[in-house]
Amino acid sequence: MFPLGLSGRYFTLAALSALLIIGILYASASHIYSRPLLYQPKSQSHSQPPLCRPANHPAAGSNDSSGAYVGDNNIPWKFETARDGDNYGLSRAQCQTAFPKLYIEIEKAVVARRGRNITFEELNSKPLGHSMGRAMIYQGALYVINFEDMRHTFSRAKASLNALNRALNAIPNRLEIPNIEFIFTTEDFHHEPHPVWVYSKREGDGWAWLMPDFGYWSWPEIKAGQYRSVRQRIAAIDQGAVINGKTNPPLKFQEKKKQLLW
């Protein structure tokens, strides 16, 4: 019932975080923007709009599995937590092989907006609200444009932006990512039907674009620290560790307190 130990599942969640961000970038940018020339230098010609996605980059969630092999022997590649848990640069084919259902919610948002591209005017139609920010990705680099009062959620914004920047740096062909601008919220929920990147959504919120939780980077308010450090401490408890000079035996999963993380 539990093919992976607790530490193994946390390794997998870390990889899912980066992969989900990359999925958001490719899926949303290629489908939603109808003004791709907004950030082009003035010296660049405006007569021919650029392609939203190069021809050799299929949409997120596609069935393209080319490249998901090991070496030259055509051995199918398989996700291994110990080896790949901290690899934020998995290829598109590897992502599809390891996490075939990862992009479901992203693709739902794409379908909900089909035929109604998000425009620059739509982003400007409503001012940023409390705990919201606006950013853009231009030539593969992340820029913060504006943000509102985040006195209670500022650390969330920093964590999410750092995680997004880490995902961008892991993409070998990041200059091919379409230039996009987006609005995100650092609150737990967002109820206004406006194209916003959110941490959580309801089933009928077709306007919402899911992004990974800030806790995958860090959660300083509860002194959780870096996510990798959290996993290492959990693994140490699972395997047995010396705490304050006292050797503690490994803690079996069945002996743990029956409570979800909170």
Percent of the chain with pLDDT over 90: 23
CA distance 168 to 44: 25
Reported confidence tier of residue 148, pLDDT bands at 50, 70, 90: very high
Provide mean pLDDT across the span 148-162. Answer: 91
Specify whether the CB–CB gap between 248 and 240 falls below 8 A. yes
CA distance 246 to 13: 31
Is residue 118 predicted with pLDDT exceeding 90?
no
Write out the two tokens for 104.
């479901």
Provide mean pLDDT across the span 248-256. Answer: 85
Same domain, 161 and 207: yes
Is residue 48 predicted with pLDDT exceeding 80?
no
Provide mean pLDDT across the span 122-141. Answer: 92
User: Total domain count for the chain?
Assistant: 2
Asked whether residue 91 is assigned to any structural domain, the reply reads yes
Same domain, 203 and 237: no
The domain of 237 spans 226-255
CA distance 19 to 32: 20
What's the whole-number average pLDDT of the chain? 76
End-to-end CA distance of the chain: give it in Å, rounded: 23
Same domain, 191 and 243: no
Same domain, 126 and 240: no
Provide mean pLDDT across the span 26-44. Answer: 39
Which of 86, 179, 193 lies closest to 140 in space, CA to CA? 179
Residue 236, Cβ neighbours under 10 Å: how many? 16
Same domain, 162 and 248: no
Question: Which run of H or E residues covers position 93?
Answer: helix 92-98
CA distance 248 to 250: 7
Reported confidence tier of residue 45, pLDDT bands at 50, 70, 90: very low
CA distance 36 to 120: 10
Asked whether residue 162 is assigned to any structural domain, the reply reads yes
